[in-house]
Chains A and B, each alone.
Chain A
Amino acid sequence: MANKNMKPVDVVIVGFGWTGAIMAKEMTEAGQRVVALERGVYRDTYPDGAYPKTINELEYQQRFKLFQNLNKSSFTFRRKTGDSAIPYRQIAMFKPGEGVGGAGLHWSGCHWRILPEELRMRSHYEERYGKNFIPKDMTLQDWGVSYEELEPYFDFAEKMMGTSGTAYRVGGKVVDESGNPFEADRSDNFPLPAQKEQYQAALFRKAAQQAGLHPFTLPSANAAAPYVNQYGCQMGPCTFCGFCSGYACYNYSKASPNVNIMPALRQSNLFELRSSCNVLRIELDSSRKKATGVTYVDINGDTVFQPASIVIASTFAYNNARLFLLSGIGKPYDPVSNTGAVGRNIAFQMMSTINAFFEPGKNINGFIGAGGNGVAVDDFNGDHMDHGPLGFVGGSPIWCNPSGSKPISGIAVPSGTPRWGRAWKQAVKDSYLNTMSFDVHGANMVYRDVYVDLDPNYKDAFGQPLLRFTFDWKDNDIRMSRYVTDQAVKIAHELKAREIKVTVKDFGAAPDLRSYQTTHWAGGVAMGTDPSTSVVNRYLQSWDVHNVFAVGSGVFAQGIGYNPTGAAVALTYWSARAIREQYLNDPRPLVQA
């Protein structure tokens, strides 16, 4: 029970990363009094990301300075229902964020939209390949919102983040053939031109062209030039320092909630941010259909009740499912009876990597890097190739995204190199400046037996159950990854390198908590049109408790090929618009179940 009660506010926001910051901005603009609660510490570019302090691989990348302290709270994993789950004790496979800015402070800046067909994946595949093409245990579903509806918010978010890129098509007209020909129509160009291209990205572009593919510049939320966004927040040009992913940007170049939204929010006397506040649950009234606020533990260890008229769950991906489960919002998913929706449709992403080793003297200079910058091909992403003869659902971009290679976290060496001794040393010396790498960063579909629920055995520092993942790699996804990786190998052969090393999953491979995949989890509180298979409606409003909204990649109905931030952020603006225009004056379920 709470031992402290706060003054009621209009909106309480749980989690202060990208989606929480956007909601805070949107709601204060609408005149709402907003309190945001962030479980981690207060952070900002200064002093947390100041040069040279931030140029510290040991502290940031090895000791996970900006990431979740697993000592306080972690997750458990098992491959199958019925197995006992085992804790994720050290950060490796994915790197969850914590602190003001959340994952938006430590991300790289890869700022994609989403493919229109991914928003209506089941309908699209059934229309093109017939109803039987999607495997029976694959729980694909449409999201309930179209690309056309979201387009204005993708555009607005690019302008908010100062995204650098090359548009292919604007207003139905091709404006630059070097853009991504598979990209959906845009209402406007990127606010900044593409960043400079690093050597390995240029080599990748040429090789991909020679392989008959369509390379283009990755849209990057690392500013190519000085920029001021709609909120008056300023960015400086990226200097390719190579300390991007996992670090706060000392140049104010990488878009983050701290750089692109916080300076504007600070001007509002309607907004209050409380850091080091861990929300335990959303409180409901006796009808269980309305939230009254949230209960949290503050920095002093006091249990505090914050009353609010609207609760916005904007924690990272899967954590919204955990918060809903802990709060008794919606029905927990049960894979056996196939009922309930909270925790359902969890998806990850799977990567394969290709290293190309050149002779010493090539000077690829991989220490030069910008997190979101690089060159990609989309020929095998989404449904851009005919899946009919391929026999799998889903796809993947292939990209060379040189974000800056640093020595501690691992210098790629040719296959067969020992891990220590003189031969290792020589290989490290020969390889460090002369290696390039690129990735197949693929979609992960959703399955009836892949989900999250509350672990019965393990607890966090606040005595609450950890989130339990029941998760395994599936043949469909490995088939997809291996197919696209084969295409990537064709690109690699065009490079005429000394050696090519391919790291790709075998059928039956176990999820490996020791090796990094991505941090791109999706699902758990999926959006949709059917309350029996989704947790929130098309406006990201809880079907069960209408004054609770959930934002972030947890609402994705399934995994996507691109990095999720772009879609998560656009959906947040879409939801905010619905709250501002439809909900505030007339609080009610915005979609009738």
Chain B
Amino acid sequence: MKKISISPDRRRFLRGALTAAPVAALAVTAGSLTAKAEGPSPDQPYQPSFFNRDEFALLSALADTLIPADDTGPGALQAGVPEFIDAQMNTPYGQGQLWYMQGPFTPDAPPEFGYQLPYPPRELYKKGLAEFDAAIRQQYGHGYVELNTQQREKMMAEFEKGEQGSLKMATIPPSALFNLLLQNVHEGYFCDPTDGGNRGMGSWKMIGFPGARADYYDWVDQYGKSYPLPPISRG
């Protein structure tokens, strides 16, 4: 397959990512062309299909903060979470075709009424990531990607606090973007690899989920025993 050269933008992203999370950065930059491909290959940097490169770098940095790589198990980047989210944006879900999207919209409704913005996930990400980036740049003079781990965690905590936190976004309520991001990160981290995330079933191995085995008749009454078989994928 044709090698894709590294642009100056890409090089800048690589540097930023490497500073922050050297282990994880390999997986992001060395993903494959499609979200469903098997594993990282150094020859084929992932080309996002929906996000532009800056958005994808920011998304990757956020995912990396939410699920960092450590001795416990793989991080979001190793698991292919950003690639998963990118691919999801081109599905009916990403396009908002599973949600009731008719107006009038009441974005100031009490939170218990749930999501009330007029944006499908793909628009929420586009607008939200831009506003998040602007908010971070205003505070630090550069983007989230270039922050160190402590700064990233500090800003993630503010982001999580939503409208109560210090992170002020122009129009998108931080909680709307944070909740969507956290949900999609969990999906990409724990899904079956054939769905485009959870590369190598690393998260399943970490927690002990047998994946698609789906037949435990002989194990139901073996109380307290450790299930002996490794996970399998549907694919």
Interface residue ranges, A against B (CB under 8 Å): 51-53, 55-59, 62-64, 69-71, 73-74, 77, 84, 86-90, 92, 196-199, 202, 237-243, 250, 362-363, 365, 367-368, 406-408, 410-411, 419-422, 424-426, 428-429, 432-433, 457-459, 510-514
Instruction: Determine whether the beta carbon of B160 is less than 8 Å from that of A419.
Output: yes
Contacts of A241 in B (CB 8 A): 214-216
* Cβ-defined partner of B223 (8 Å) among A71, A199, A238, A425: A199
Cross-chain pairs A/B with CB under 8 angstroms, 19 sampled: A64-B98, A73-B100, A86-B109, A87-B116, A90-B98, A90-B115, A198-B220, A363-B225, A367-B216, A408-B191, A420-B67, A421-B67, A424-B67, A428-B206, A429-B206, A432-B209, A459-B102, A510-B110, A513-B114
Within 8 A of A (CB), among B95-117: 96-102, 104, 106, 109-116
Per the bound structure, the CA–CA distance linking A58 and B191 in Å amounts to: 6
Per the bound structure, the CA–CA distance linking A84 and B211 in Å amounts to: 44
Instruction: Determine whether the beta carbon of A425 is less than 8 Å from that of B73.
Output: yes
Contacts of A365 in B (CB 8 A): 216, 219, 225, 227
Q: Within the complex, what minimum Cβ distance (angstroms) separates B75 from chain A?
A: 9
B173 within 8 A of A: no
Q: Which B-chain residue is minimally distant from A405 (CB atoms)? A: B209
Contacts of B102 in A (CB 8 A): 87, 458-459
* Cβ-defined partner of A429 (8 Å) among B73, B99, B210: B73
B29 within 8 A of A: no
Knowing A87-B100, A426-B72, say if A420 contacts B204 (CB, 8 Å).
Answer: no
Stretch from B31-39, B48-56, B182-190 contacting the other chain: B182-190
**Interface range for B:** 35 or more
Q: Within the complex, what minimum Cβ distance (angstroms) separates A26 from chain B?
A: 35
For the complex, would chain B's binding face be called helix, strand, loop or mixed by DSSP majority?
Answer: loop
* Cβ-defined partner of B115 (8 Å) among A74, A89, A422: A89
For the complex, would chain A's binding face be called helix, strand, loop or mixed by DSSP majority?
Answer: loop
Instruction: Determine whether the beta carbon of A408 is less than 8 Å from that of B93.
Output: no
Most buried by A among B116, B206, B223: B223
Per the bound structure, the CA–CA distance linking A355 and B175 in Å amounts to: 26
B23 within 8 A of A: no
Per the bound structure, the CA–CA distance linking A424 and B189 in Å amounts to: 13
Instruction: Determine whether the beta carbon of B224 is less than 8 Å from that of A362.
Output: yes
B230 within 8 A of A: no
Instruction: Determine whether the beta carbon of B65 is less than 8 Å from that of A421.
Output: yes
Knowing A51-B214, A70-B98, A408-B190, say if A240 contacts B68 (CB, 8 Å).
Answer: no
Instruction: Determine whether the beta carbon of B216 is less than 8 Å from that of A53.
Output: no
Knowing A70-B99, A425-B72, say if A242 contacts B234 (CB, 8 Å).
Answer: no
* Cβ-defined partner of A69 (8 Å) among B98, B192, B206, B207: B98
Instruction: Determine whether the beta carbon of A71 is less than 8 Å from that of B98.
Output: yes
Q: Within the complex, what minimum Cβ distance (angstroms) separates B152 from chain A?
A: 10
B195 within 8 A of A: yes
Instruction: Determine whether the beta carbon of B208 is less than 8 Å from that of A433.
Output: yes
Instruction: Determine whether the beta carbon of B216 is less than 8 Å from that of A425.
Output: no
Contacts of A196 in B (CB 8 A): 217, 220-221
Contacts of A420 in B (CB 8 A): 65-67, 156, 160, 182
Contacts of A197 in B (CB 8 A): 220-221
Q: Write the B59-103 contact mask toward A (1 if CB under 8 angstroms, else 0).
A: 000000111101011000000000000000001010011111110
Per the bound structure, the CA–CA distance linking A471 and B217 in Å amounts to: 42
Per the bound structure, the CA–CA distance linking A514 and B114 in Å amounts to: 5
User: Other than the known A57-B192, A365-B227, A422-B70, what 12 A-B pairs have Cβ atoms closer than 8 Å?
Assistant: A58-B187, A58-B191, A87-B116, A89-B114, A202-B223, A240-B219, A367-B209, A367-B216, A420-B65, A421-B66, A426-B72, A513-B114
Per the bound structure, the CA–CA distance linking A457 and B100 in Å amounts to: 14
Per the bound structure, the CA–CA distance linking A55 and B204 in Å amounts to: 14
